[in-house]
Structure 1
Amino acid sequence: MNITFRQLRVFEAVARELSYTRAAESLHMTQPAASMQVKQLEGQVGLPLFEQLGKKIYLTEAGQELLQYSHAIFNHLEELEDVLEGMRGLNRGRLRIAVASTINYFAPRVLAAFNRLYPDVSLNLEVTNREKLMRMLDANEKDLVLMGQPPENLDLEYDPFMENPLVVIAPPSHPLANEKQIPMQRLEEETFVMREKGSGTRLAMERFFQEHQIELHPGLEMTRNEAIKQAVRSGMGLSVVSTRSIELELETKRLVALDVEGFPLMRYWYIVHRKGKRLTPAAQAFRAFLLEEADHLADSNE
């Protein structure tokens, strides 16, 4: 096959937008020119890459396969550019990081500190849930991922960089707010505001209660920590969250951490990448910086 990078760029844009017109606009070219590039690519592949149903277009099975490989090709080219810049002694490059939503309270602090040391490194941060982080790792889309317990079904390299204690939270007016050494069984009388299925915090919480034969009573299910904190403050139930995410609420006494037997539940945050991945100089520098400075930055007000 004699596929060109231009054809792949246009194909990626059409696959992203699912529209020839919007893809052409994003690439500053005409719609017929974009359509022609895709037709030429389909001719090289020997299979249709898109199919039209009504007014919408969709990727075919061949298109989905090609999209994964095109992502890998362009990721490798970007890595090559950063590696060559490092070999030339240039103190710059790109750093693409994805973090779990619970780490977003800490990530801007560490990125700001890293940026002061390496101001010419271009930083890209994406905050998302555990399910999407695992897809990113599987597709090798990011340089590094910061998350809770890494999945066991992927071939990964990871190191813990910070403790992540989980606690049971309640509004200050809750009857248990001032109790000491609350038995775990007492929690069976409470309703819990839950993170979405697949969330690392939820998995740890459910595993803990199952191990101790505590019957959990789920109430609301939410995808964002801020929404969970508001729901707990409004008296809609208790929840289990990272202490890192409620520092302000504890300080201002908008929420309390209950003194429950077995808590805090100790977990860790990890810095993760695919095994065998060749880290760029920027990624290597960030990894070393995080492992060295994470605890200091977590305890500082920077």
Structure 2
Amino acid sequence: MRNLTLKHLRAVQAIVSGGKIVNAANALGLSPPAVTIQLRQLEEEIGLALFDRTTDGMRPTAAGLAFVETARVIDERLRMLEDQVDAIKGLRAGSLRLGVVSTAKYFAPRLMAAFMKEYPDIDMRLLIGNRAETIANLKNHDVDVVLMGRPTKDVPVRASAFGDHPLVIVAPPDHPLATVRDISKERIAEEDFLIREPGSGTRISLEIFFSEIPGRIDDLGVEMGSNETIKQAVMAGLGIAFISAHTIAAEVEWGRLVVLDVAGMPIRRQWFGVMRADRAVSPAMQTFHDFLMRKGAMYLPLLGKLYPETGRAVGQ
């Protein structure tokens, strides 16, 4: 593969992204014949087809996907090289792609703003998604650092805890259990729950919490796609929810939700900053990690007294 060039890899990436030669040509600012020639040269060089030509467009073969992954790694290394050169020059510069699970969106923008104020020359992008989407972004090298409540095991990672993440059960203020103290696990299990999609961190924690009650996790509750939808549904009286305390502090303060006093609650988890273990850490990534360890907990929502009837704050 001595004749392999970045242009060849860029062409493969563009074809995969666009699905067709003409779309790849437009993205690269080239003519379709020029892209076709680059692809033909590369396929002749390696002796394998990189794409299956179908009526629906160009579909990458196993070899094509291997080239795309290589192109991603090279892009990442080039970007890190640029960051390292800036660091050698003494510049606090570089770029950072921050991925956060949807539950973390309640504090991530404030944390990000504080970091950018302290390091204005580091260019940042924020990608918010559910747990599965965020893990996929980490797998695909689309993000550098991820903020999440339960580090993934799908890829090798470095995970550093930076703050507490309490999980609680919430209900509308007029719920019969709103003023009951020390509700048992068996009693709360009788309620109708509103839950996140399979694989979400809060759902996994709820499954663990109810694992001792026979049959309870087989029919956990009604699935909803976001914390916002769940909060609105709870306020409408459709059920109760097990949710991150960091997502409901405002609604509790406004009197729209109450935290139920359930035995064994809140469940104390932690927030983690997560990076892939199989990639080098750029200066920008290291700078953000250090900031997260020093100041990350400061930007988590203030929980205050989430148990109004007792005056007790979460975690007490």
Tell me if both proteins adopt one fold, taking TM over 0.5 as the criterion.
yes
Question: 1:73-124 deviations in whole A, cap 9, x for unaligned?
Answer: 1111111111111111122111111111111111100110011111111101
Normalised by the length of structure 1, the TM-score is: 0.92
Question: Pick from 279, 284, 298: which aligns with 2:281?
Answer: 279
The whole-number CA distance in structure 2 between the counterparts of 1:70 and 1:206 is: 40
Preserved CA contact (<8 Å) 2:97 2:144: yes
Q: Give the corresponding residue for 1:51.
A: 52
Structure 1 residue 288: deviation in Å? 0.8
User: Aligned to 2:74, what secondary structure does the other structure show?
Assistant: helix
Taking structure 1 as reference, are residues 17 and 284 closer, same or farther at Cα in structure 2, changes over 3 Å only?
Answer: same
Structure 1 residues 42-77: Cα deviation after superposition (integer angstroms, max 9, x where no partner) = 222221111122233211121112211211111111
Q: Which residue of 2 aligns with 1:221?
A: 223
- Post-superposition Cα deviations, 1:257-289, rounded to whole Å, max 9, x if no partner, equal 111111111111111112253221111111111
SS, match of residue 280 in structure 2: coil
Task: Using the TM superposition, name which of 70-79 and 52-61 deviates more.
Answer: 52-61
Give the share of equivalent positions with the same residue, in percent: 39
Between 1:285-294 and 1:137-146, the stretch displaced more is 137-146
Q: Does structure 1 residue 256 correspond to structure 2 residue 258?
A: yes
| 1:37-76 to 2 correspondences below 5 Å | 37-76=38-77
- Give 1:79-158 correspondences, 5 Å limit: 79-152=80-153, 154-158=155-159
Q: Over aligned residue pairs, what C-alpha RMSD do you find?
A: 2.0
Where in structure 2 are the equivalents of 1:201-212 lying within 5 Å? 201-211=202-212
TM-superposed deviation, 1:196: 0.8
| Counterpart mapping for 1:191-210 below 5 A | 191-210=192-211
Q: CA deviation at 1:31?
A: 2.5
Partner of 1:30: 31
Q: Which residue of 2 aligns with 1:244?
A: 246
Q: Give the whole-Å Cα distance in 2 for the aligned partners of 1:298 and 1:147.
A: 13
Q: CA deviation at 1:8?
A: 0.9
2:296 paired residue number: 294
Q: Give SS of 2:211's match.
A: helix
- Segments of 4+ in structure 1 off by > 6 A? none
In structure 2, list runs of 5 or more residues that go unmatched.
Answer: 303-316
Structure 1 unmatched ranges of 5 or more: none
Distance in 2 separating the partners of 1:214 and 1:289: 44
| Deviation of the 1:30 alpha carbon | 2.4
Rounded Cα–Cα distance in structure 1 between residues aligned with 2:224 and 2:264: 25
Q: Helix, strand or coil: the match of 1:262?
A: coil
How much has 1:212 moved relative to structure 2?
A: 5.7
Distance 1:30 1:253, change over 3 A: farther
TM-score, reference length from structure 2 = 0.89
Letter in 2 for 1:291: M
